[in-house]
Amino acid sequence: MSRIYSASSRAAAVTSPPTGSNDDFGGNVDRLQTDADDDQTQQPFPTDCIPGAGGNMARAIAATERVPESLTGCCILGILSASVGAGLQIKSSASRVTPGNLYLLASADSGTGKSLAFRHAARPLLEFEAEIVKRWKIETLPGLQTEREILDAEIQQLKKHVGKADDGMERERIRQEMEQRKARLLALDTEMQPPVLSVEDVTTERLAVLLSKRGECLASLSPDAVAIVANLLGRYSKLDRTDEGIYLKAFSRDFIRVDRQSREPVFLQEPCLAALWLTQPDKLETLLGERSLTDGGLIPRLLSCHSNAQPQHLDPDAPGISQTVTDAYRQLVHDLLTEYRLASDSRILISSAKAMTLLTNYHNTIVEKRKAELKDVTSYAARWAEHAWRIAVVLHAAEYGRQAHDHELTHATALRATAMMDWFAAQQLDILSGGRWKAHRDRRNEVLSLWAEMPDGITARDVYRRRICRDADDARLLLARLETEGVLQGKDVAPERGGWTVRLYTGKNAR
């Protein structure tokens, strides 16, 4: 467990209680210009948090293909999440259950092994999918086709008889029989769809249709998600806007209605989508740089990272993945698919008291930081505790396999989940750091311009009234941070006629 605890401590700057510093990044703002020197964001992926066969496979792929564990770990986590689907959820509060579907987005340059890592991780799921489709075509489809032909023939016969019916009762009997057969034909339309488990490059409209005919549960898997990124950015949108609505609803399992002129409306009651997308670094940056996707809520739902995979020389002595590791991982994925992904009902996990306390405290600590140093990225941080619960479901399933629902979530698994979420949170802040630094610099310059207009000193109220900050608390936090950075100097001033003491700020070169 030692490496698990170290993984948690490495990300302490993300989720530990505030220490009094007003610096969003735990140091001088100038550090934001040299992200590569930030030790926190260079920490390795906490592979040891993935128990058993999953963790072993992540390490084996990394060693064989000479790629970082940040890439292989994301791949394994994504495939395990897809294998659980909607079949395993956890009671995360008195009135809430949280599923284990994750949206993972990792980047790697072309030619650095992302397709190889994906192929190893996804092979058991894709082989399982191919096998059930093959078996369905042989064992199930012929019977359904035969039933459809019989129903069509019976309907034709009933149509002939209805014209010869002498009384209303006979016509009503025929009408009811035709109605029953047509209802069965409609049901057959769904049953005659092959049991697909995953999709890749689909429009949002097609994705809704596929979900409606596949039990409302799918996985979006792609080793090169260029097309998916383009779709999200609105490639097929006639209104020239981003197209992420179904991904938002299918993450949270919310009701969806999709209306199109060319087809009947599609209704989804509790859709569930898991996603594993690998793409190039510039595509990830483009996606995360689209403000509407952030404001709409998709980007905060993503667990994203740059894997920093590098081109490698061929090594003829590189170890292969042992058959024992491969077989154990394949068995784990197949067990999860059989027990949970293909189940008609969800199993509900219960947390131990210690696990519930840990994850509750994790949530509450983040809430406090969202009021302070994470205020400018609160929409991202708002999802971290929920992500930790989701990761916990996946890690629990990885540990217990098809018996996961028979065991309660332990404190150790909750600790692993928060450690892994800490790592993703650090990666997220690192990716956002360039934009955060620019935004902070711009606001600093606006404050200095305001002081130039009011050389006797400015207050938080002045900053807020100039609309530099969205509220008074944000203005006080910004001024305190600029004072800590040495940009401003502040002093408490009591009004001559009495009243509340206010903090007055001037520039460092003020007399």
| pLDDT (tens digit per residue) in 306-324 | 999 999 888 888 889 999 9
pLDDT of amino acid 39: 43
**What is residue 363's predicted lDDT score, i.e. its pLDDT?**
97
Rounded average pLDDT over 94-104: 95
**What does the pLDDT average to over 6-19?**
40
Residue 253 above 80 pLDDT? Answer: yes
Inter-CA distances, 55 with 287, 289, 325, Å: 29, 32, 10
Contacts 24+ apart (CB under 8 A), 32-38: 32/433, 32/434, 32/436, 32/437, 32/440, 33/437, 35/430, 35/433, 35/434, 38/430
**Closest by alpha carbon to 384, among 400, 368, 397?**
368
- Position 377 scores a pLDDT of 87
Write the Ramachandran bin of 267: left for phi over 0, alpha for psi from -120 to 50, otherwise beta: beta
Q: Residue 276: enclosing H or E segment and its boundaries? A: strand 272-279
d(CA 284, CA 292): 15
Place of tokens 């079949």: 87
294 vs 176, which has greater pLDDT? 176
How big is the chain, counted in residues?
511
Helix (H, G, I), strand (E, B) or coil at 261: coil
β pairing state of 272-279 and 103-107: parallel
How are beta strands 272-279 and 347-349 bridged, if at all?
unpaired
Does 437 have pLDDT greater than 60?
A: no
Q: How far apart are CA 337 and CA 83, in angstroms?
A: 5
Asked if pLDDT for residue 236 goes beyond 90, the answer is no
- Predicted TM-score (pTM) of the model is 0.77
Q: Which residue has the higher pLDDT, 51 or 190?
A: 51
Q: Report which of residues 53 and 196 the model is more confident about.
A: 53
Confidence band for 189, pLDDT divided at 50, 70 and 90:
confident
Residue 135 pLDDT > 60, yes or no? yes
Pairwise CA distance, residues 284 & 263, whole Å: 34
The conformation of residue 308, written as its DSSP 8-state character, comes to -
At 12 the pLDDT is: 43
Q: What is the distance between the alpha carbons of residues 443 and 447, in angstroms, rounded to a whole number? A: 6
* Mean pLDDT, range 334-346, rounded to an integer: 95
Residue written as tokens 């590098």?
310
- Backbone φ and ψ for 488, nearest 5 degrees, come out as -120, 160
